[in-house]
């Protein structure tokens, strides 16, 4: 029987970490997580492992699965930050002086053509949210979506619009976010 003050569990945990380290690094590289954020995600997963170690049968598989889930959630948060920035940019854009009417009309026509290429649910959602000014919950009710899923659907539709902007040449691969912001602002007016 081991004495309570012996560092045997710490040694065993160090050996476990050394054994699983290559797979953890591979997981983080597969998801292309930046180094600083990778350390945070790994620490979160390890803390979760330590707090639940008594209930876990296979710590290695559990840790890899948890890290994979944290990586996926990381990129979802990053996407949401981009698209939530759209609303802030729209408000700033609305307070800016207006473009000449002819230029604005041309941009709106181009944008309507791009939106017309999107699937019907994206066309409806983008027009409700940005053209008619519906709040997310109102748009969800109007279109028959659950309130919990409207954010995901909006994100996917904005991503589809961004892809159309890139395909049409109105946006560049280096800066699609600014073009997406401009497009969303135009949709709102």
Query: What are 113-129's pLDDT values in tens digits?
Result: 888 889 999 999 888 88
* pLDDT of residue 92 exceeding 80: no
Per-residue pLDDT at 167: 77
Work out the pLDDT band at 1, boundaries 50, 70, 90: very low
Position 33 scores a pLDDT of 92
Are residues 73 and 106 located together in one domain of the fold? no
Residue 188: pLDDT above 70?
no
Whether the per-residue pLDDT at 83 is higher than 60: the answer is yes
Rounded to an integer, what distance in angstroms lies between the CA atom of residue 24 and that of residue 181? 36
On whether residue 55 sits in a domain, the answer given is yes
In whole angstroms, how large is the CA radius of gyration of the chain? 23
pLDDT of residue 93: 54
Closest CA to 67 of 13, 110, 22, 112: 22
Higher pLDDT, 72 or 132: 72
Residues 117 and 177 in one domain: yes
Q: Is residue 84 part of a domain?
A: no
Span 131-154, average pLDDT:
87
Q: Which of 160, 129, 156 is nearest to 143 (CA)?
A: 129
Question: Based on the domain organization, do 119 and 50 belong to the same domain?
Answer: no
Rounded alpha-carbon distances, angstroms, from residue 20 to 50, 52, 62, 71: 15, 18, 11, 17
pLDDT for 88:
58
Question: What is the rounded average pLDDT of the residues 91-95?
Answer: 54
The domain of 18 spans 8-77
Q: Is 165 in contact with 111 (CB distance < 8 Å)?
A: no
Q: Are residues 112 and 184 in the same domain?
A: yes
If one counts the domains in the chain, the total is: 2
CA distances from 60 to 34, 36, 37, 48 (A): 23, 23, 21, 13
């Amino acid at each position: 029987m081991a004495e309570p003050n012996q560092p045997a569990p710490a040694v065993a945990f160090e050996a476990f970490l050394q054994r699983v380290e290559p797979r953890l690094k591979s997981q983080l590289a597969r998801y292309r997580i930046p180094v600083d954020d990778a350390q945070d995600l790994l620490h979160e997963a390890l803390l979760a492992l330590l707090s639940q170690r008594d209930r876990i049968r296979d710590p290695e598989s559990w840790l890899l699965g948890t890290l994979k889930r944290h990586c996926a959630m990381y990129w979802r948060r990053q996407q949401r930050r981009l698209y939530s920035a759209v609303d802030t940019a729209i408000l700033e854009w609305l307070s800016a002086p207006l473009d000449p009417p002819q230029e604005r009309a041309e941009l709106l026509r181009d944008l309507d053509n791009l939106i017309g290429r999107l699937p019907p649910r994206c066309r409806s959602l983008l027009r409700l949210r940005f053209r008619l000014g519906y709040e997310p919950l109102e748009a969800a009710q109007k279109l028959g979506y659950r309130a919990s899923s409207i954010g995901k659907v909006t994100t996917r539709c904005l991503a589809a619009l961004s892809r159309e902007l890139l395909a049409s040449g109105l946006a560049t691969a280096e800066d699609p976010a600014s073009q997406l912001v401009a497009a969303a602002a135009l949709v709102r007016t």
